[in-house]
Every structure is written in structure tokens, then in C-alpha cells.
Amino acid sequence: MTTLQMVRKEPAAPGLDVERIRADFPILRLQVNGKPLVYLDNAASSQMPQQVIDRLVRYQTTQHANINRAVHALSEISTNEYEQARRKLQHFIHAREEREVIFTSGTTDAINLVMHGYGRKFIGPGDEIILTTMEHHSNIVPWQMLAEEKGATIRVVPINDAGELVIDDYEKLFNERTKFVSVMHVSNALGTINPVKQMIAFAHARGVPVLVDGAQAVPHMQVDVQDLDCDFYAFSGHKLCGPTGIGILYGKAALLERMQPFKGGGDMILSVTFEKTTYNTIPHKFEAGTPPIAAAIGLGAAVDYLSAIGMDAIADHELGLLNYATAQLSRVPGVRIIGTAKNKAAVLSFTVDGVHPHDIGTLLNQEGVAVRTGHHCAQPVMQRYKLPATSRASFAFYNTLAEVDALIAGIRSVQKVFS
Amino acid sequence: MTDPRALYQEVILDHNKKPRNYGTLAHASHQAAGHNPLCGDHIDVALHLSGECIACIAFQGASCAICKASASMMTVAVKGKTRAEAETLIHEFTDMSTGKLDLSGDHHIGRLVVFAGIADLPVRVKCAILPWHTLHAALNAVESTSTEAELDPMHVTIGDA
């Protein structure tokens, strides 16, 4: 059988024992429609290893109380564990200080925090904000809301046919009115890895701060916010083997301190009277109300888990999967890969002649193969390629070459139904 | 769950490949555009009412096979019917799609019964009913509608499916 042959050809990343890793993920043992689950929707949300599940259970079983409040034992433990998770995230993205790491509910919340905290204070009428064609709706809509409120303008960096940003055009968009750049690190719809370090350096030379949406980058590669020199970096926990409802905004301390709070409430204040409220210091200024404590601690456990495997080993393995899947898919007649950037993460968007992505999704599901179909919350990308939707297989470090084979076999059987 | 491959049967695949009444109408008395914002599918339905009778009807748009075949078969089913008969069929089709129609009782579903299996695929129900939903909007002089429209009587139904 081809499949067995492919399993033997697994040496994508020596040192990554995929079968042992898979044993950590109980959900990967599921059967869907009588077939082993082939989970290829990791760009939407990744699965959780037993280590993180256990950590959540341990927290709820023995450590839970509200943080930063009472003097009793549990409150002290939960506060310490929550702040310990913050330090784990700080080290994971190589932030200089732990107070530069703010817990949010996710990437969307993090971007909205910057829009309200920075944008509404420092961006005014006639100012310009640079975005790119490939942005996720969560990195478009908040800036449109700001532009509408302030009378600012959105400028958009185009992409070429391969799905790469046209950097010459990016540089030409800058003028004296440019006040902010917000760009994704890795495209969820195309897989493109953008040259954000270079883009940040260019913006900084003109005094313009940059937010990087790292939702699709952090789970798949080593990210060093100090090396990138980004001003803000946003990502989500649930794409990183962590729980939903938790995410991170990294921001340079000097900027965070100048920003206004996003949400008002408990924890984000030092003192409150009806005449005057004094805000707390960062990061607490941006963490109003009781945070998702368990989710934050779970995310801490998730980055421990990923660090133990090694982000470089993860990136190597995923590149092996991408290269193999790209080669195999390219051989299927009638299939077109959308997003062929030279520098790509393990995201494979594609169309099949004569078959709508939703029909592909339904029929692949019958084979146990989970892919995303639709516009991927990136409608401007779909408009750029004049497509209503694509199918997308997105890989994680726990995926195997045999699973790529299952995807390819599934696509061939879809074509057979529609032939 | 029923094997969805059963849904992708010859009739549906045939209407997907060769949709009937596909295109625009030069002199439509009623038309509407329907959108499914969850997937980006859209469909335009145009018809001409002669008195109470649907004299001609056409549709066009970009959508999946389920949606396109449903639209194609819908135009065939309602052509020559009165507005009231069409509304009855819209109602029955929606009920069938959400598993609420007693197929052994009285109904006018006819060949549309090939879509009965959609009730087992809740995530695809909206694909099947979008054309019907759009026809309902056209007949009631609503120019644009969506499977998420607040006033959509089918919206709640879908959510419960």
C-alpha cells in the first residue's frame, strides 16, 4: 500500500517522534464516520495535549481562587500560577520584560486593545494606517472602525499572484501622514510568511509603529519579538495547543505606558473615587476584571509542552509535511494551489475544478478528513484571486505524511463523485 | 449520520452540472439577491408574475452543488405555479430540510425529495434553503436577504436544526 510506504518515508525531521507526540493528544484517537480522524484544520484551532488538559484539571481541582485579591492560601497560589504563566509566555516569545505581556481573550481582543488604547489616542483626522490585502478580518475591521471614527484613511499593500506582499508598493505607501502599520506574520489563507522584520525596520526609520498579527506564526516557528523589534505582537492560545478564550498582546513597555486603557473595571486601577481614578501599572492596566485564570495557566503549560519538543523541530517537521503535500496535490489534475509564496508555513489552500469547496469539505469529512472550507475570514484575499472560497488543509507538528495521503485520496474520491 | 454521498446523487449532480433556468430575466417583476455570509455563497433569483402566476423564473450565482441544484430544481418546481403555491412549497422544503416535514403525509415535495437527506447534515442546511429563502424574499419584494437575516423565519429553524 502506498500509505505504508509513505509512513516509512517519514524522516521529515529527525528527532521528532510523531507517533509518540500523537499519543499525547487523546482527540487524535477519535474516529469520524468510522474513519480515523485526520485533523487538518489547525490554522482554525489546534488540539490540546493531555499535559495541558491535566494542568487545567489540576488548577481547577487544587488551585482555583480569584487572583490579586484575597490573602488566603488559594488566592496566593492562583495569583502566583497566573503570573508564572505570564513569565512562560514572556520567555516563549523572548520579550524583554514580563510586564510587556498582556493576557487578552485572543488575537482579535489584542488587536482591538491596540486600536482603542493606541489608535484612539494617537491617530487623528487625515492620518493613514497601512494594512495588507491578506489580512484576516480581525486585522481589518478594528482599523476601519477607527478610521471611520477619526477620519483616518486605510492604505493597503497589494499581493502578487503567488500571494506575497509587494514590498516596493509597501514602501511607496509611506508619507508624512502614515501613523501605524498592522500586518500579519503568516497568512491564514495563503500560508505566506511575510518579511515582517524588514517591514518593521522600514516603518521605524520613518517613526511609524508596527503591530504584527502572529496568530498563525507563533504555533509554527520560533518568534523573537525583540529580534523583530515589533511594537506590538498579538496571538491566540487555542492555535497553540492551549485553551480558547486566552491570547497575548505583547507591547513595548514605553508604548503600553503611554496608551489609554481599553476596558475599565477592577484590577486595572490603583485607586478609585468618584472624582478621579488612577490606573494601575502595566500589564494590569489592560487586564480589567477577573481574567480567564485557568486558560492563562493552561496556555503556560502549552508553551512548556511546545518548548520541550522545540519550535525549530516543529517548523522542520511541518515544512516536510508542506513540501510533501504540495508535491502530491500538484499531481492531481484539476487542482490549483492558492498561495505559492517562496516562504510558506504549512497551510495549503486549494481549489478543485468544477467542485465547490463546501462540497469538498462535506465529502472529505465522510472520509474522516477535517479541512476548512470558505473564505477563511479573509474576503479581500478571495476577491484578489476572484474566488468565492477555497478549501484549506493546515498542518500541525502532530500530522503525518500518511495523513497527507488520506487527504489526497479523499480529494480524488471527491473528483470521482463529480466526474 | 447518513452517508452524505447519498445526497450527491445523480439528480443533484446533474442539476449542478446543467442548471435549469440559469441566467437573468430581461423583464423581471420580482427579484432578490440571497447571501450566505458564513460561506460567501450568493444567488440571484428573478421572476415574472403574470397575475398571481410565476410565468418565468431564473437564477444565477456562485454556490456549492447543493445550493445550485436546489435552485435549479426550485425554478423547475415553481414555474407556472401561483404565488401561494410557491409559498407553500417554500415552507414545505424548509421543513423537509430541517427534518420537520412528515414525508408520509400530504405535501407537494415531489422530485425535491432528493434533498430530504440534508436534514442529516445540519451544516449544509443553509446551502439547500438559500435559493428558497431568496425566492421568498423576491415574492415579498425584499431586494436582498441572507441566511442570517434577523427577520428570516428560517433563521431560528436552522439554529435549532
ipTM entry: 0.81
Q: Are A215 and A188 in contact (CB under 8 A)?
A: yes
- Tell me the torsion sign for CA atoms A332, A166, A213, B40: negative
Residue B3 lies in a domain: no
Pick from A357, A362, A388: which is nearest to B4 by CB? A362
Q: Is residue B2 part of a domain?
A: no
Query: Nearest chain B Cα to A387, which residue?
Result: B62
Q: What is the pLDDT of residues A137-148, one digit of tens each?
A: 999 999 999 999
3-state SS of A134-173?
CCCHHHCHHHHHHHHHHCCEEEEECECCCCCECHHHHHHC
A181-215 pLDDT, tens digit per residue, is 999 999 999 999 999 999 999 999 999 999 999 99
pLDDT confidence of residue A14: 56
Structural domain including B125 reads: 11-160
B55 part of a folded domain: yes
d(CA B147, CA B157): 11
What value does the mean pLDDT of chain B take? Answer: 87
Give yes or no for A363 touching B (CB within 8 A): yes
Domains of chain A with CATH codes: 2-32+311-418 (3.90.1150.10), 52-308 (3.40.640.10)
Question: Going by C-beta distance under 8 Å and a sequence separation of 6 or more, which residues neighbour residue A276?
Answer: none
Mutate to test the interface with A, among B1, B39, B66 (most CBs of A within 10 A): B39
**Residues of chain A found within 8 Å of residue B121, distances taken between Cβ atoms:** 362
Mutate to test the interface with B, among A35, A358, A417 (most CBs of B within 10 A): A358
Report which residue type is found at B40: G
Q: Measured between beta carbons, which residues in chain A are less than 8 angstroms from residue B4?
A: 362-363, 365-366
A388 touches chain B (CB under 8 A): yes
CA distance A388 to chain B (A): 6
The angle that helices B10-17 and B65-78 make with each other, rounded to 10 degrees, is 90
Residues in chain B whose Cβ is within 8 Å of chain A: 1, 3-5, 8, 13, 38-42, 62-66, 68, 121, 123-124, 127
A241 a catalytic residue: no
In a domain, B50, yes or no: yes
Distance between B20 CA and the closest CA of chain A, angstroms: 17
CATH of the domain at B115: 3.90.1010.10
Which of A109-123, A270-284, A344-358 has the weakest average pLDDT? A270-284
Place of cell 517613526: A207
Report the candidate in A230, A324, A285, A312 with the shortest Cα–Cα distance to residue A9.
A324
With a cut of 70, say whether residue A263 has pLDDT above it.
yes
Q: Of residues A377, A378, A396, A411, which has the active-site annotation?
A: A377
Whole-number pLDDT of residue A371:
97
Q: Determine which of B8, B60, B64 to mutate to test the interface with A (most A C-beta atoms within 10 Å).
A: B64
> How many domains does one find in chain B?
1
Q: Which element (helix H / strand E) includes A365? A: helix A357-366
Could you tell me if residue B152 is inside a domain?
yes
Residue at grid coordinates 477592577: A266
Please report whether residue B32 resides in a domain. Answer: yes
Residue B85, domain member (yes or no): yes
Counting every residue written for chain B, the total comes to 161
Cell numbers placing A266: 477592577
Q: What is the mean pLDDT of residues B43-54?
A: 96
The answer to whether residue B4 is domain-embedded is: no
Separation between Cα atoms, residue A23 and residue A50, nearest integer Å: 9
User: Which residue would you say has higher pLDDT here, B1 or A156?
Assistant: A156
Please, which residues have CB within 8 angstroms of residue B133's CB and are 6 or more apart in sequence?
A: B34, B90, B94, B145, B147, B152, B154
Whether residue B127 and residue A358 make contact (CB cut-off 8 A), yes or no, is: yes
If we measure between CA atoms, which residue out of B41, B60, B17, B44 comes closest to residue B124? B41
